[in-house]
Structure 1
Amino acid sequence: MNQRSSFLAFSQCIIKRALSTKPIINRPPLTPKQNEAIQSNQEVLSSYMVPGKLKRFFKSRPTRSQVLETENISSSSTTFRSARPRKLTEQRFGDPPSIAQQQLAQRIERAILKMNASEALPSRFVTPEHIRVVGDQTKQALKTYQPVLTKLIQNHAHMRRPVAIKYIEDRDGEELESIFDQLSQEEK
């Protein structure tokens, strides 16, 4: 009984404090007029030596009406802080790569080397010593290995936005033939 009465007294005390009848007045804080503040700030700056860090407290700030006037006067030209990269559609195959493309290619090449060094390949026979090129079926190979290799390279590249890696077939066949010739000469 005693505990209950003390709890009720405590809860009534909280309620009495929370339900106050005192009116709440929403008034902005009293600030000096803008012109008076500017004049007093100028007097302080002219009569005293104020360190550089503290001068910001004495600078006059534009009022809201001045800011609105300057916004209306300024032109509506759009300025971009940054632009998203766009596709290069007019770049021909004979053009030399740009610096950004070279750096990206080097980064992808390092990711491929790191992937080959650290990933456990499916079999011990998938190494340059055990591979013999019999016939080339690039379409099937691209279809089979492109998603897996792309994912592995992207994991090892450590980039915020992963790069889209496209494997392109050699349509002329000249480059593939030269690669196969080199491989066959190395085997001999």
Structure 2
Amino acid sequence: MSIHRFVLSTPKVSPFTSQRLFSTTAKAFKKQPKEPRYSVQNQQVLDDYMIPGPALRFFKTKRTKKPQETTYPLSEHGLENMYTAPARSIRYNEFDSAPTVVQERLAERIHRAITTMYSVETLPTQWITPQHVLIRAVKVSRNLRKCRVLYEALSDKKKERGHTHRSLSVYTPLLNTHRSLSVYTPLLNTLIHSHANIKHPLSIKFIPDTQTKELDDIFKQIVSEQNA
């Protein structure tokens, strides 16, 4: 006695047919229903009256255009660099705030470079050497792009200090220290950059330190009055 097994077989579907069915189904899901060409009120008017063809456009439903969302690519000039610095007040002075650790380290590095420059390089004039210039302090801005070297001219003669605003083109044996520093600032910038091994752009300016000099004079006056 033989036993017959009945196997339920399913029809085979080719990969091309299944892919086509899948794409058709996906399109059906993505397709959104269209808005009716005429509104209910306009359609009623068209049913009741005979409107000529050119005038039918006035009865069509106006499509509402959705506002396009503006997208900004994440590039070098995109959202990455849009907000890079905090807002500052108009009278904000970036040199007056308490320096960060990075600012202090860069200021010390520049100060050491100035000392090395004085000991190694041959400067073009004696009026910018340590015999005539005293470096009081070095301040670096918060963005590490600007540097102020506060100095004091060591001349005791009022006449020599008065020459600071005169031009170097007029020959005078009493060359002023301030004018020499302003003229030789590009050279000093190059030498300081070289000895400090600074790669990024940094603007270095020599500014006379008047506040420290005034405070020292006041302190000396107070001490002399107490000792008298």
Q: TM-score, normalised by structure 1?
A: 0.39
Judging by fraction of residues, say which structure has more strand.
2
Q: TM-score, normalised by structure 2?
A: 0.34
Judging by fraction of residues, say which structure has more helix.
1
Which protein is bigger by CA-based radius of gyration? 2
